[in-house]
A = this chain, B = another copy of it.
């Protein structure tokens, strides 16, 4: 077991992403991470140092430290203690200053702050739009959608739609294909006028059976035969209507979201 401390003077989101990326390259090490966020005074930094010392004594080995601390005075606390730190700012700010020919501000991390207020408000509006149009609700708002995610029930439309709205500020609706709609060769009438905005998700029928069984066990909805038929019909409908299709079986919402943005050029010009 290897402890990893994620230290940040703000949210710790960047430090956590950096730590996860690096740690995922060591699949055989059993990492236990601990978030130490909003470490924005030298007193708090000293308290972190105490925790590092304690962990070192207890474990017999020092915890890894992944850090995004922009303020020099706080970094100096860790430097004086001669702790070994993987520090994003320490490592890259110098070369970046040289490359850009200008000094950095050394202010507390602001990368997840509101920043541009209009852009931020638009992102929150996108979240409310995704909620309002979730699961085929409020079809008359589809004109405002930038993307309409389609697929059978529980293939992952809702979490991905919320993620795309929250993270990228994209106006995303989602529409579940059910019953009669699955048996046809043409798209449902509500979707037809918006076919350029459609993106379809599909999933392995066995995985779908698992997911539906957790939700409504023992129902026809959750039966393997139902899941198999619905997925086959949906895939056939998407293919014959040339709707871009992604199999999400082993993908996370973040991966599905990034893949959709990667495959839909209109979503990249923002």
Which residues of A pack against B, CB within 8 Å? 2, 10-14, 17-18, 20-29, 35, 37-38, 64, 68, 70, 84, 86, 88-89, 91-93, 95-96, 99-100, 102, 104-107, 109-115, 120-121, 124, 127-128, 131, 134, 156, 158-159, 162-163, 166, 214, 250-255, 257-259, 261-262, 268
Interchain CB contact (< 8 A) of A158 among B105, B107, B109, B131: B131
User: What residues of chain B lie closer than 8 Å to A166, measured between beta carbons?
Assistant: 159, 162-163, 166, 253
**Would A13 and B159 count as touching, CB distance under 8 A?**
no
Nearest-CB residue, chain B, relative to A211: B121
What number of copies of this chain does the assembly contain? 2
Interchain CB contact (< 8 A) of A255 among B2, B18, B24, B113: B113
Cα–Cα, bound, A255→B111 (Å): 10
Interchain CB contact (< 8 A) of A21 among B21, B25, B111, B268: B111
User: What residues of chain B lie closer than 8 Å to A115, measured between beta carbons?
Assistant: 24, 252
**Would A14 and B18 count as touching, CB distance under 8 A?**
yes
Cα–Cα, bound, A127→B92 (Å): 36
Cα–Cα, bound, A68→B99 (Å): 19
**Would B255 and A11 count as touching, CB distance under 8 A?**
yes
27 A-B pairs whose Cβ atoms sit less than 8 Å apart in the complex: A2-B100, A11-B255, A14-B17, A14-B21, A17-B17, A17-B111, A22-B92, A24-B111, A25-B93, A26-B102, A26-B104, A35-B268, A38-B258, A64-B99, A112-B252, A112-B254, A112-B258, A113-B250, A114-B250, A124-B159, A127-B158, A128-B159, A131-B162, A159-B166, A162-B162, A162-B166, A163-B166
User: What residues of chain B lie closer than 8 Å to A111, measured between beta carbons?
Assistant: 17, 20-21, 23-24
